[in-house]
């Protein structure tokens, strides 16, 4: 008997990345990015992910910041084997997340 395959696509990929605290590679604004997704939420009927950028076009960012990415804008999000620690900049109780959070990293 065949095992059912796991769900695929951007949303299941982000869910798994958040639960397992693994980075994701994707294309964003025509560039390659590696992000550490912290939370998936909805706004105006669209899905967004707030994440720290680990690498953009092969280079680490100058400073750590939590950025907002529209999930539709992330091309071919792919789970990596690299894990991340949740950023101290992430505030899961922030007002913008109240009542719209789909999934968030567990803070230690």
Give residue 108's pLDDT: 72
The pLDDT value recorded for residue 4 is 55
- pLDDT for the residue numbered 86: 97
pLDDT for position 53: 96
> Residue 20: which H helix or E strand, with range?
helix 10-20
Give the Å distances, CA to CA, from 51 to 14, 25, 66, 92: 11, 12, 5, 12
pLDDT at 3 (0 to 100): 52
The DSSP element (H or E) to which 22 belongs, if any, is strand 22-28
The pTM for the full model equals 0.91
Q: What HEC string does 42-67 produce?
A: EECCEEEEEEEEEEECCECCCCCCEE
Buried b (16+ CB within 10 A) or exposed e, 39-55: bbbeeeeebbbbbbbbe
| Predicted local distance difference test score (pLDDT) of residue 5 | 63
Per-residue pLDDT of the chain (108 residues; tens, 9 = 90+): 555 566 678 999 999 999 999 999 999 999 999 999 999 999 999 999 999 999 999 999 999 999 999 999 999 999 999 999 999 999 999 999 999 999 999 987
């Amino acid at each position: 008997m065949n095992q059912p395959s796991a769900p695929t696509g951007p949303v299941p990929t982000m869910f798994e990345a958040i639960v397992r605290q693994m980075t994701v590679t994707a294309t964003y604004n025509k560039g390659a990015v590696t992000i550490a997704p912290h939370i998936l939420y909805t706004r105006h009927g669209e899905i967004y992910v707030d994440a720290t950028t680990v690498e953009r076009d092969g280079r680490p960012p100058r400073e750590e910041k939590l950025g907002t990415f529209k999930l539709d804008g992330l091309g071919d999000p792919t789970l990596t084997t690299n894990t991340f620690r949740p950023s101290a900049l992430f505030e899961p109780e922030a007002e913008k997340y109240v009542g719209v959070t789909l999934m968030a990293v567990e803070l230690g």
